[in-house]
Amino acid sequence: MRVLVLGFALATSLLVGGQICLAQEVTLDLPSVARLVEERSLDLKIGTAEIALREAQKVEARAPYFPSVSLRFDTEFTEDLDEDSGVVAVGDTVSTDGSAFENSLTTNVSFLLYDFGAREHRYDGARDRVRAARFNRAATFRALRLEVIDRYVQVLGLSYRWYVAMKKVRLRKTIYRQLKALGEAGTMGQTEIGGAAIDLATDVTTLDEVQLEYQKALDSLGELAQASYSVNTTTIRPLGDVFPSSVETLVEEHPAIQSYNAEIEALHRELSALKRDHLPTLNLYSSYRLYGVDNSSYADSMGDMSQLDASVALILRWDLFTGFRKTARRQQAEARLMRASLERQRAMFGLERELKALEDNLEQAGQAKRHGKERDSHIRQADVAQQRLAQNGVLDQVNFSRQQVVLLDQKLDVKLETMNRQAAALKLAVWQGGEIE
């Protein structure tokens, strides 16, 4: 029995401890969230794997600059049906002999001497594709940061709304209690009390809706960061002021466009190499052969591998007709080149629109900032004045609470305007290649 009690106590403590761990407070700021997303992003990992793939392809494209060395062993029996011929073949070699067991061990070395520049174009194209993969990962990295900013700003804005909605509910409850007390004293009608109850119910509904949206936004951010966040245990830090570069931003310098440029250069080089494939190639070939022959015994032919020969040859090879294979490959390269050029043009249009939208948002946010300073000053003055009037008894508690509700909405508007301005500046800075700070 004592063991059961101890086991139950231990299980309860673990469960409670687990709940405590799950309920730990989490404070999020944009730089730490961005780093977490970058560490766990599958898109970035795929981009890294693509770079490794292109690097390996570059090594493969460099192979024709080195000689090819192979080792070959042949063993066979040849029956000479024409005794006067005296010709015996062993693998790719020919010997003059009668019927016999033949074995040969051959070392072959071949090297491409000249192909009208085809291998140079293929190697340069492979290097261009490495650059394209690096630029493509950089573009993915930049797009991921912009997405992090969007989701974080959405969460931050909803956190402001949620906080204000909670304070408004508290004030509405205070107003309702004050009016109800006045109604019981006979100095307030039921209409006013009923209106306060409706206002309270409306703000409670608004709080529930905002909390639901806030949790959904946190889930969206958590999905990106592969983490879990809760409304009641998460604190969101505000954005800081960022100043984008004053240098004119060129869409052509965006890594997505540079990736297309590198890919187009690679396709041009591939097309040039394919055109040169229609021309002959000059190769150097050399072999060194050790072989043995015996007319009656296979074992003796293996043990008698003492005969040697060597050869060196220059081979000029020209494929005059390959079933239109080379022509089809050239047409494929031309089609890929056209597609890449059109995709680059489409990406240019999209990035130009994106850049203009960011610049317009920043300009509008700057205008709102100038007006927001004036509004913020008026709100602060009104808040101080209301506090003074309430302390001096000039403003009753009901009207003071109602004025506080109005001021909450005004303060929220100013806070959201500040947040949107900071977000617009930050997004433009990141679009230009800046860091998240």
> pLDDT of 220-239, one tens digit each?
999 999 999 999 999 999 99
pLDDT at 299: 72
Looking at the chain, the whole-number percentage of residues with pLDDT higher than 70 is 80
pLDDT at 194: 83
Predicted confidence band at 118 (pLDDT cuts at 50, 70, 90)? very high
Nearest one of 190, 336, 200 to 271, comparing CA atoms? 336
**CA pair distance 64, 276, nearest whole angstrom:** 15
Contact 221, 204 (CB under 8 A): no
Query: What's the whole-number mean pLDDT along residues 78-102?
Result: 59
Of the listed ranges 96-105, 164-173, 398-407, 416-425, the least confidently predicted one is 96-105
**Distances 253 to 257, 260, 338 between C-alpha atoms, Å:** 7, 11, 21
Nearest one of 372, 354, 320 to 424, comparing CA atoms? 354
Token pair of 328 as six digits: 């089809």
Query: Does domain 27-66+115-280+318-431 bear CATH number 3.40.50.620?
Result: no
Task: Kindly report, residue by residue over 364-395, the tens digit of the pLDDT.
Answer: 876 665 555 555 555 565 555 556 545 555 34
pLDDT at 369: 59
pLDDT at 242: 78
**CA pair distance 13, 24, nearest whole angstrom:** 16
Of the listed ranges 3-12, 132-141, 423-432, the least confidently predicted one is 3-12
Nearest one of 242, 222, 238 to 230, comparing CA atoms? 222
Residue 116 reports pLDDT greater than 80: yes
Q: Which residue has the higher pLDDT, 133 or 187?
A: 133
Residue 6 reports pLDDT greater than 70: no
DSSP code, position 92: T
Q: What average pLDDT does the structure give for the chain?
A: 82
pLDDT at 373: 59
pLDDT at 368: 60
pLDDT at 16: 41
Angle at the Cα of 365 from the Cα atoms of 419 and 410, rounded to 5 degrees: 55
Stretch(es) of the chain classified as CATH 1.20.1600.10:
27-66+115-280+318-431
Residue 316 reports pLDDT greater than 60: yes
pLDDT at 186: 66
Contact 106, 91 (CB under 8 A): yes
Residue 94 reports pLDDT greater than 70: no
Nearest one of 225, 250, 237 to 431, comparing CA atoms? 250
Of the listed ranges 163-167, 194-198, 314-318, the least confidently predicted one is 194-198
Predicted confidence band at 295 (pLDDT cuts at 50, 70, 90)? confident
Task: Kindly report, residue by residue over 137-171, the tens digit of the pLDDT.
Answer: 999 999 999 999 999 999 999 999 999 999 999 98
Token pair of 432 as six digits: 């230009």
Give me the sign of the Cα torsion angle 376, 379, 383, 389.
positive
Give me the sign of the Cα torsion angle 280, 286, 289, 295.
positive
Predicted confidence band at 13 (pLDDT cuts at 50, 70, 90)? very low
Query: What's the whole-number mean pLDDT along residues 31-56?
Result: 95
